[in-house]
Amino acid sequence: MRRVSAKTILVTGGAGFLGSHLCERLLEQGHEVICLDNCFTGNKKNIYHLMDNPKFEFMRHDVTFPLYVEVDEIYNLACPASPIHYQLDPVQTTKTSVHGAINMLGLAKRVKAKIFQASTSEVYGDPTIHPQPEGYWGNVNPIGLRSCYDEGKRCAETLFYDYSRQHGLQIKVARIFNTYGPRMHPFDGRVISNFIIQALRGEPITVYGDGSQSRSFCYVDDLIEVMIRIMESGDEFTGPVNIGNPGEYTILEIAEKVVQLTKSSSPIQFRDLPQDDPKQRCPDINLAREQFQWEPQVDLHKGLSSTISYFEKLLSEEKI
């Protein structure tokens, strides 16, 4: 493990899937961590194992309201990230991305903290370039069902760069592609969590469209590693930078792989494709490779096996 100077670090959305793994890694590095979450999609169960650590503090707070704490760094991860959750209250989703960014940037400006924005591959919309490089400006429907998230995250990026230019803030912006692993929300409507839960329960595997649309999937440990490398990098590099696994699979291939690994008898059931669902989504990660000497290490078979074990345990404990 790299030796780093201990800091006080704020993680918004810290009780969520990615946030809880990030808090865990930062504590392992010896930092003091303030985990902030309103628990709309985050869950305190994800951080129960951290509660006894004297360097860990949990705060129930909504980032759309100002926050006054003293910190050295901020990771801004707060926002529902799956369609089923961010479409539940689209106005609040936009507020979380935009007002949340304004409040966290204001905090960073006041305490002179370095700040990381967890942006998303959704800023590329339904891409016309494949794979997607950082210089691609995207193909986003500004008034569609997904736009509360897509445009909210695009606006947050705008705010980060304007605060950097106008106030000299130290910023880092990463565009996160599909990520999976233990502590995913079991009912977040995402491909891998959906397929695993359905397969373990013997229910039909629901594939939208004909299953030919493609995605890439990055295991959570790989993603957290590069997030921390980005934050630790020098001030001259701000991003945006794509982070994800460039291995590309069709949705149907993922469904078949999950059925195989779970030894399930679940049939595959096809349904209509949702509005504005991207046909292709895959990161060009050459910039991350060059800047951080980073390459995803966990292959799909190993990552899926670990994620299936997590959901099997949840089901056996009747927690879902």
Catalytic residue numbers, as ranges:
149
Q: Are 223 and 81 in contact (CB under 8 A)?
A: no
**Token pair of 79 as six digits:** 């926002």
- Cβ-count burial 267-288 (b if 16+ within 10 Å, e if not): eeeeeeeeebbbebbbbbbebb
**Token pair of 12 as six digits:** 């918004």
DSSP state of 142: T
Amino acid at 157: E
Task: Enumerate residues 6+ apart whose C-beta is below 8 A from 200.
Answer: 262, 264, 308, 311, 312, 315
Q: Which helix (H) or strand (E) is 195 found in, with range?
A: helix 191-201
Q: What Rg, from alpha-carbon coordinates, does the chain have? A: 19
Question: Residue 209's beta-bridge partner residues?
Answer: none
